[in-house]
Amino acid sequence: MSDDSQVVPVGAVDLGLAPVDTVAVRQGAFGASGSGDTSGFGGLVRPIEMPGASEKPYGGYFDELTEELELALADAGLPAESAIEKVVVDRGELTLYVRREHLLAVAQELRDEPGLRFEVCHSVSGVHYPADTDRELHSVVQLLSMTHRRRIRLEVTCPESDQHIPSLTDVWASADWHERETWDMFGIIFDGHPAMTRILMPDDWPGHPQRKDYPLGGIPVEYKGATIPAPDQRRSYN
Amino acid sequence: MSTSYESGEFVDGAATGAPDPAPGYDTTEGRVFTVSGGDWDSITIDPSLANERIVVNMGPQHPSTHGVLRLILELEGESVQSARCGIGYPHTGIEKNMEYRNWTQGTAFVTRMDYLSSFFNEAGYSMAVEQLLGMTDEVPDRATVLRVILMELNRVSSHLVCLATGALELGALTAMTFGFRERELILDVFELITGLRMNHAYIRPGGLAQDMPATDDQGQDMKVRIQWTIDTLRERFKDTANLLVDNTIWMGRTSGIGYLDLTGCMSLGITGPILRATGYPWDARKETPYCGYERYEFEVPTQTSADAYGRFLIRLEEMQQSLNIVEQALDHLQPGPVMVDDPKVAWPAQLAIGSDGMGNSLDHIRQIMGTSMEALIHHFKLVTEGYSVPVGQAYQVLEAPRGELGVHVVSHGGTKPYRVHFRDPSFNNLQSVAVMCEGGQVADVVAAVASIDPVMGGVDR
C-alpha cells in the first residue's frame, strides 16, 4: 500500500458516515469456491461493518439511562470508561458493550439502582463471529425494566482461547437456563453458574452446534436422475 | 408382573414372591433399584424399603406432561421433594437451519417453533427483519391490521388448547372436547385465509404472503365469516365457563396449586398469564405497543391468587378480550396493499386458493411465462437469491399467549440471517416448575405444569 493512500484503522472509519466496526470480510457472491468463476462476482470483497460506537447525545431515554448508570458505577468506585467498552445506539435500540471482568458490577447496578431498575433478564444468547479476533464469542443479554418500560441490550465478548464470562444467575435467577443453552450451543463457560450442563443437546454430545465452524450436517436428497446436496453444501448466494 | 425372558418361561414374580428380574445394586448412597413398568409390590414387599425416596421419570412420553417434557421427580411417598425438568427432546436446530436459508424462508421455520402460536413467531421474526431493513413504518396498514386479527385469533386458539389439554390432564374430558371443538372454528378461518391450519408461513418480512380472500368457502364475505366465528365462540365459551369456573372438583385441583408470587415471577423473568395471576397487569401490548395495539380498546385481566386457578380465569378472560380486539380490527380493515411497495423485497409471486388448497395463481404464471421475460427473471432472482438485509441486529418483543416472545436477529448484510434467536416464553417459564411443585403432592405437579402451558416445540426449537 502506497504512503499517500489513506490507511483507516479498523473500527474507526470516518467518512462522514456513522461509525462502524468491521467484524468480518465477505468474499465472492455465491458462497461456493473451487468451481470455475466466469462471472467475476467471485472477486467481490466486502467488509461487514456492524454499527460502531455512538456519540452523545444518544437521544430518547438513552442519555438519562447512561448517565444514571455512570453515576451509579462511580458511586460503586468503578469508572464507567473501564466497565463499558462502548455504547451503540442503532435502529432505536441501545447496546452497552460491557467488559466481562466488570459485568457483574454493571448488572448489579442495572438491577438495583432506582433510576435503572432492570428487574427482568429477558434473554441470554450467543453469537459467534469467527473473524472478530479475540472477541469471537459474544454473549447477548436482553434486559427489561418494567418500572420504566425500557429495554436495553448488553453485549459481552470473550476470545475463543479463553471462553469464560461471569454468570448472571446471582443477579437474575432467570439467566439459568438461558446461560445453559448458550454454553450448549456456543461453548461459552459462565463462571459461577450453579449447573453448567447441556440443556438441549444430549449430555454426551461433542461440540457446540451453533458455532459457525460447526457444520449443519444433513444428507443429500436424491431424486430420480438428480441429487440435491445438503443445505450447507449447496451452491447459494451469501 | 415380571417375565423371565431368558428361559422363555412365563413367571409371575408377584404371585410367586420370586425376586425381581431387575435386581438392585449398591451405591455410595445405599441400594438402588431401577424399575420400569411392572408391579411396585415386588419392590415394596420388603418392609425395610417402604419409606425410601424414589426417583420417578415422569415423561418424556407421559400423556400428562403437556408434551415431550421429562420431569425428574424425587418422591417420598406422595410428596415431591425435588422436581427438575429434562428438555431438549424435540430440539430440531431451527435457529441453525435458518442461517442456511434466505430471509423469506425463515418464516417457514419459525412458524414451527411454538406450533400453537405460529402467527406470533412469524410476526415477531418479520417485525425484527423489517426493523433491520428500516421499513417498519412502510408496512401497509392492511397488513398490520390483518396481523393483529390473526395474532388475536391465534391467542384464542392457543388458550383453548391450554384449557383443553390442561383439563384433559386433570381428567375433565368434556372440557377437552369443548376446547378442541372451539379451536377448530378458528383453524377453519386460518385455513381460509392462509391455506393451512397450523404452520402458515403467511406473515413475511414486509407484510403478508398474500391478501385475505374476499369470500369464504360458502361464498359469503370473509369479514362476515370472521364475525360469525366470533359470535359463535362467545356463545360457546359459556359452555366451558359453566363447566369449570364454579366446579368444585376443578377448583379443588387448581386453587392454591402451582403458587408463584410476584417476587418469584420477577426473579425468574416470568411473563404472561403467570405474571398477571399475581395481580401485576404487565402486557407488552399495553406497555410497549407494537402493530398499532394502542388503537384498540381492551383490558388486561389480572387475578391475585397467583395459582393455577387464577391463570385459568385469566386465560378465559383474555380470550374474550382478544375477540373484542378482532372485532375492532375488522372495523379498521380497509382495502389496500398487504406488502411493502418495494419490488426488491416484495415477492411478485401470487398464490391462489383452488379446489385443492393453496397453489400457484394461474394468472400470475400466465403473465411471467407468457408475456414478460423481465418479470420472470425478477421473480426467479428474488425467490432463489432473496434480498440483502443491512448489517446490524434487532430485538423485537411481542406478547405471545404464554408470555413475552423475544426475537433477536443479527444480519451480516447477506441474503441469509447471520443469527436468529428466539426467547420463547415457554422456555423461560418452565424454569418455575421446581419452585411451583416442590413440597406439593405428585398429583399437583400435573396441574402446575398445565398452568404454565409449556409448548415443547417452542422450548426446544
pLDDT of residue A27: 77
pLDDT of residue B401: 94
Cα angle for residues A140, B111, A233 (degrees, 5° grid)? 75
CA distance A81 to chain B (A): 24
Task: Check whether B40 has a pLDDT greater than 80.
Answer: no
Side-chain-side CA neighbours of residue B204 (13 Å)? 23
Short-list A90, A142, A61, CA closest to B134? A90
Mean pLDDT confidence for B394-412 = 93
Side-chain-side CA neighbours of residue B12 (13 Å)? 3
- Inter-residue contact B277 to B305 (CB < 8 Å): yes
pLDDT of residue A159: 93
pLDDT of residue B41: 63
Other CB atoms within 10 A of residue B101 CB: 17
Mean pLDDT confidence for B421-435 = 93
Mean pLDDT confidence for B163-183 = 89
Task: Check whether A37 has a pLDDT greater than 80.
Answer: no
CA distance A54 to chain B (A): 14
Other CB atoms within 10 A of residue B23 CB: 9
Find, in chain A, the residue whose alpha carbon is nearest to that of B131. Answer: A91
Q: What is the DSSP string of A17-47?
A: S--EEEEEEEE-SSS--SS---SSGGG-EEE
pLDDT exceeding 90 applies to what percent of chain B? 48
Q: Specify the higher pLDDT residue, A26 or A118.
A: A118
Short-list A221, A217, A222, CA closest to A232? A217
Mean pLDDT confidence for A90-97 = 91
Question: Is B412 in Cβ contact with A24 (below 8 Å)?
Answer: yes
Find, in chain B, the residue whose alpha carbon is nearest to that of A24. Answer: B412
In this predicted model, what pLDDT tens digit does every residue of A156-202 receive, in sequence order?
999 999 999 999 999 999 999 999 999 999 999 999 999 899 999 99
Number of helices and strands (H, E) in chain B? 19, 12
Q: Residue B416 corresponds to which amino acid?
A: K
CA distances from B342 to B134, B210, B387 (A): 12, 15, 11
Find, in chain B, the residue whose alpha carbon is nearest to that of A152. Answer: B395
Question: Is B100 in Cβ contact with A237 (below 8 Å)?
Answer: no
Q: Specify the higher pLDDT residue, B364 or B139.
A: B139
pLDDT of residue B39: 60
Lowest mean pLDDT among B269-278, B368-377, B395-404: B368-377
Say how far apart CA B373 and CA B364 lie, in whole Å: 13
Question: Is B91 in Cβ contact with A151 (below 8 Å)?
Answer: no
Task: Check whether B406 has a pLDDT greater than 90.
Answer: yes
Task: Check whether A6 has a pLDDT greater than 50.
Answer: no
pLDDT of residue A99: 92
pLDDT of residue B45: 62
- Which among B385, B419, B461 has the least Cβ separation from residue A127? B419
Mean pLDDT confidence for A226-233 = 85
CA distance B415 to chain A (A): 6
H or E, element range at B178: helix B173-194
Question: Is A200 in Cβ contact with B269 (below 8 Å)?
Answer: no
Question: Is B416 in Cβ contact with A238 (below 8 Å)?
Answer: yes
In this predicted model, what pLDDT tens digit does every residue of B295-330 receive, in sequence order?
999 999 999 999 999 999 999 999 999 999 999 999
pLDDT of residue A123: 93
